Structure 1
Amino acid sequence: MSVTHEKTMLKAFDNTALQRAMQLARETLEIEADAIRAVLTRLESDDSVARAVGLLFNCDGRVVVSGIGKSGHIARKIAATLASTGTPAMFVHPAEAAHGDLGMVTSHDAFIAISYSGEAAELLSILPIVKRMGAPLIAMTGKPQSSLAQLADVHLNIAVEKEACPLNLAPTASTTVTLALGDALAVALLDANGFREEDFARSHPGGALGRRLLTHVRDVMRSGDAVPQVAANVSLTEALVEITQKGMGMTAIVDDAGRPVGVFTDGDLRRMLERVQDFTKVTISDVMHANPRRVHPEQMAVEAVAIMEEFRINQMLVVDGDDKLVGALHIHDLTRAKVI
């Protein structure tokens, strides 16, 4: 597209066109919100959702979700939401199912078929086989008298008064309702299965929540020679050399058994500058903070973050079951690991 043509198009989108666009955007949201409320009211008068949840909860296998066209896109999302919230699920394309993928479905599975008209030929061609397998069938359609609805063990009525599309053609309100109802099933199952935050993290190890809930102190702590430590009888000058070399802004002070008895930080040094003139005469044990905060390697990294935030510190020592120093943790280590 040329620059001139692009500028012409921008000029053509005048204030009147902008107002029209905003009006349609508002109407779309209102129509879709009204459609969800209407379905909620309708479903409150029957037990179809409860029966669907019961079938899915008692499923020994997986929940197979299928649909074609826009319904297929919604089916993929519903399957993904179920799988990520503790209900094993997968999407199967009905056309591919008719050419071999139906072998993925077993009698232990539950099948959710989505078609607003309830007459999608690709779905109807495979559902008799699904029924013969003995897999329970849940249908989501906008036509209770449709072929698909009549085949189903449970029918969820997703009928809408109108689509948000000004031509009343493109699936808009109907797909929103279907997606919302799929989310409702997933949330109900999540609760019934006792699915918790830790379970969600295990299925999302690459996400922020997964990193926060699955990362242990041992995964991010510094260990070995990277841990700054000195004996209690060394001079402050020697301790400062250790702080500088290890680059953690602090050093642990340990006893002969390797147990931390204190800590000294850059902040402590800055505060000393006003009152100490000759560092060579100061022993680190004279100026250290005794009984430093510590964590264990097996603790969750978020626990270390909570302690750091509570006591407003940037470093912590890591000790084993015998209280021996095995590592050190800096707030920057937690930031790099995206725990915070």
Structure 2
Amino acid sequence: MPNTLLNFAKKVILTEAQAVSQLADRLDQSFIDACTLIQNCTGKVILIGMGKSGHIGNKIAATFASTGTPAFAVHPGEAGHGDLGMIEQNDVAICISYSGESDEIMTLVPVIKRLGVAIIAMTGNKNSAIGKISDVHLDVSVEKEACPHNLAPTSSTTVALAMGDALAVSLLNDKGFSPDDFARSHPSGALGRRLLTFVNNIMKTNDDIPIANADTKLLDALLIMSQKALGMVLITNENTLQGIFTDGDLRRVLETHSNIQDLTIGEVMTSNCKSILADKPAMAAVAIMDKFNLNSLPVVDKNNQVLGAINTHTLMQAKII
């Protein structure tokens, strides 16, 4: 029984993969025409589909919206009872129906046409009712569904979804949509946090910064480091950064010095240490720390005045890493 389940699952996946591969082979001028319609759209892209096609439409609309193309999905049943008012003259409609004969969609088409809204059809039959009335037809036909009875929408919905992704990502690439643009649409997501969080949003400041001057005894500096719990002490002169002393430096000092009581922090600090400007993205701090194998980093202004400090734990708390 377990082997039968696995074998059948593999067959389903391979069937759908083959359907998507065949879709790639038959992309043609119609795809370019569809992209052009969407590029020239000064309104929104409206996804319309019934049943499983409606679910696919919701996903495609979400992908469009998150990649710089304003879009939303309209349920064709609800549209006939008022939601059609959401569709305006400058919009483009993408109607998804594998058969191309959805009664619910065909009921809306004349009204959509009267508004002057261009229609992109995604069907498995160019000669269907929806296919014929569309301005651009995208062929999402499949040889067979992954369902053993060739009934449940499986391969066909996967292909429609892939077509939607192809449209959205091709347009994303064409308009130069950047990771920063993506992050602005996803401020609550992991990528949004990483790209929109800056060093000055998360750094330790004021009394939380472990600071000592170069003449401070090493043992006193260690007490400061312990109290501030950042694994480092910044050595300054009138707030100008001179160097850093970290937990790792302490281990090296203990290996090379038998008597540390008379040492000052200035004698064992790392001068010309790496630092970062406060207005840099937090991910820039991560890059510096990764490159130079650092756990701590001073934060300074353009005049090398200390403004704050961050360490690996700070970045983890902010969910940057």
TM-score, scaled to structure 2: 0.95
2: CA distance, partners of 1:68 / 1:131: 19
Q: Name which of 252, 266, 276 aligns with 1:295.
A: 276
Matching residue of 2:250? 269
Amino acid at match of 2:25: T
CA-CA distance at 1:301 after TM superposition: 1.1
* Residue-by-residue CA offset, 1:151-184 (whole Å, 9 max, x unaligned): 1101112122221111111111111111111111
CA-CA distance at 1:53 after TM superposition: 0.6
Matching residue of 2:123? 141
Larger Rg: 1
Matching residue of 1:4? none
Q: Name which of 202, 207, 217 aligns with 2:189.
A: 207
CA-CA distance at 1:278 after TM superposition: 4.1
Amino acid at match of 2:22: A
The alignment of Structure 1 onto Structure 2 pairs a total of residues equal to: 321
Query: Share of identical aligned residues, percent?
Result: 49
Matching residue of 1:69? 51
What does 1:1-340 align with in structure 2 at a 5 Å threshold? 17-44=1-28, 47-256=29-238, 258-340=239-321
Query: Could you say what secondary structure the match of 1:75 adopts?
Result: helix
Root-mean-square deviation over aligned CA pairs: 1.5
* Residue-by-residue CA offset, 1:296-335 (whole Å, 9 max, x unaligned): 1101111111111122111111111222111001111112
Amino acid at match of 1:33: A
Amino acid at match of 1:65: L
CA contact (8 A) 1:218 1:297 kept: yes
Instruction: Structure 1: give runs of 5+ residues left out of the alignment.
Output: 1-16
* Residue-by-residue CA offset, 1:96-154 (whole Å, 9 max, x unaligned): 11111111111111100111111111111112111111111101111222111111101
Change (3 A) 1:166 1:224: same
Query: Could you say what secondary structure the match of 1:159 adopts?
Result: coil
2: CA distance, partners of 1:277 / 1:39: 73
Change (3 A) 1:33 1:271: closer
Change (3 A) 1:272 1:127: same
Instruction: Structure 2: give runs of 5+ residues left out of the alignment.
Output: none
Q: Which moved more, 1:81-90 or 1:204-213?
A: 204-213
Amino acid at match of 1:18: P
Query: Could you say what secondary structure the match of 1:281 adopts?
Result: coil
Amino acid at match of 1:82: F
Query: Could you say what secondary structure the match of 2:250 adopts?
Result: helix
2: CA distance, partners of 1:73 / 1:131: 24
Change (3 A) 1:260 1:152: same
CA contact (8 A) 1:57 1:192 kept: no
Change (3 A) 1:156 1:230: same
CA-CA distance at 1:277 after TM superposition: 4.2
Matching residue of 1:8? none
Change (3 A) 1:155 1:328: same
2: CA distance, partners of 1:126 / 1:191: 32
1: CA distance, partners of 2:194 / 2:59: 25
* Residue-by-residue CA offset, 1:159-214 (whole Å, 9 max, x unaligned): 22221111111111111111111111111111111112221122122222222211
* Residue-by-residue CA offset, 1:242-290 (whole Å, 9 max, x unaligned): 111111111111102x101111122222222244344342222222111
Amino acid at match of 2:216: V
* Residue-by-residue CA offset, 1:222-252 (whole Å, 9 max, x unaligned): 0010000012222222211211111111111
Change (3 A) 1:225 1:156: same
TM-score, scaled to structure 1: 0.90
Change (3 A) 1:231 1:19: closer
2: CA distance, partners of 1:273 / 1:41: 67
Q: Which runs of 4+ in 1 moved over 4 A?
A: none
Q: Which moved more, 1:273-282 or 1:165-174?
A: 273-282
